[in-house]
Amino acid sequence: MRVEKLKCPVCDEQYLFFFLLLSKCEKIMIRVCPLFSGSSGNSYYIEFSNKNGILVDAGRSTKQLENILQANNISICNISSVFITHEHIDHVSALKVLINKYNLKLYTSKETLDALIKKGLISEKISSGALDKRNTDLGFVSVEAFSISHDCCGGFGYVFTDITGEKIAVCTDLGYISDEVKNSLKGCRTVLLESNHDVMMLENGKYPYYLKRRILSKKGHLSNETSAKFLPFLVNNGTENILLSHLSSNNNIPELALQTCTYYLNKEGITAGKDVLLNVAPKENFKMVDIKT
């Protein structure tokens, strides 16, 4: 497995890009690019082996999404669909403009769809597909949804299975890791997993009491420690690439999230960088990592 860090041609900062080369002939099968991650906006680009790209969530503005895609030489024409995890604004702020401008198809749960319409965040006339938890074959990819425990209407995490059988999961915005989440993530080679906050930083920070309670509740967000303790399970069930996502900019530090995860992996005899690739999705911009098998 090879990892390369490259410079962004636009901003000259290091950025993250995942090229998952999932066959012996080294063809690029799945590309993953964290565009935005965290409480100020979330959006992930995933491109499958047949060059079909999707977005998972569309936080931030359409202009910001266009710019960051362009900076990575990702043509928006490759993107056919956007999958929404839930209706909170840090996941959907670009949605209305984006899907109208580029005629994207929206996939999400029936409850989220209703909530988006009710809040005026999408129009009723757009092309959309309400997903349930059954495996849905969209032709270029099949998708399985699983419930996330969060203070929203019917939020979903997603497992995408490429036509080659490769699985990639997006699992953010959840208060705890249920059996359903565990079972859904088994066998996913790449997992984008929430690692929202450090509990000490949150408890000692400036957030009002009600917000701290909300984040720490079973319908809030995953702490570094909760996510870290879950990682050995993932690695023992086929995960090779972990991207820690949705980090709080007020209550977390990327190095702390990585250290916590490394600690709990080490306790189980698993070495980050050797047995599993572990990275943090930055708030914006990205480092590039080339992963070759």
Token pair for 42: 């979330």
Q: Is 173 an interacting residue with respect to Zn ion (CB under 5 A)?
A: yes
Q: Which is nearer to Zn ion, 217 or 237 (CB)?
A: 217
Rounded to the nearest whole angstrom, what is the least distance from the CB of residue 189 to Zn ion in the complex? 24
193: burial class by Cβ within 10 Å (0-12, 13-18, 19+)? buried
Q: How far is CA 61 from the centre of its chain?
A: 18
Q: Which is nearer to Zn ion, 90 or 166 (CB)?
A: 90
Rounded to the nearest whole angstrom, what is the least distance from the CB of residue 230 to Zn ion in the complex? 18
Which amino acid does the sequence have at 217? S
Buried b (16+ CB within 10 A) or exposed e, 33-58: bbbbbbbebbbbbbbbbeebbbbbbb
Q: Which is nearer to Zn ion, 31 or 246 (CB)?
A: 246
Rounded to the nearest whole angstrom, what is the least distance from the CB of residue 285 to Zn ion in the complex? 19
Rounded to the nearest whole angstrom, what is the least distance from the CB of residue 146 to Zn ion in the complex? 16
Q: What is the DSSP string of 48-95?
A: -TTS-EEEE---S-HHHHHHHHHHTT--GGGEEEEE-S---HHHHTTH
- Site track 216-255 with Zn ion (rule: CB under 5 A), x = hit: ----------------------------------------
Binding piece for Zn ion, criterion CB under 5 A, among 46-54, 135-143, 171-179, 224-232:
171-179
Binding piece for Zn ion, criterion CB under 5 A, among 5-13, 102-110, 168-176, 260-268:
168-176
Binding residues for Zn ion, rule: CB under 5 A, are 88, 90, 173
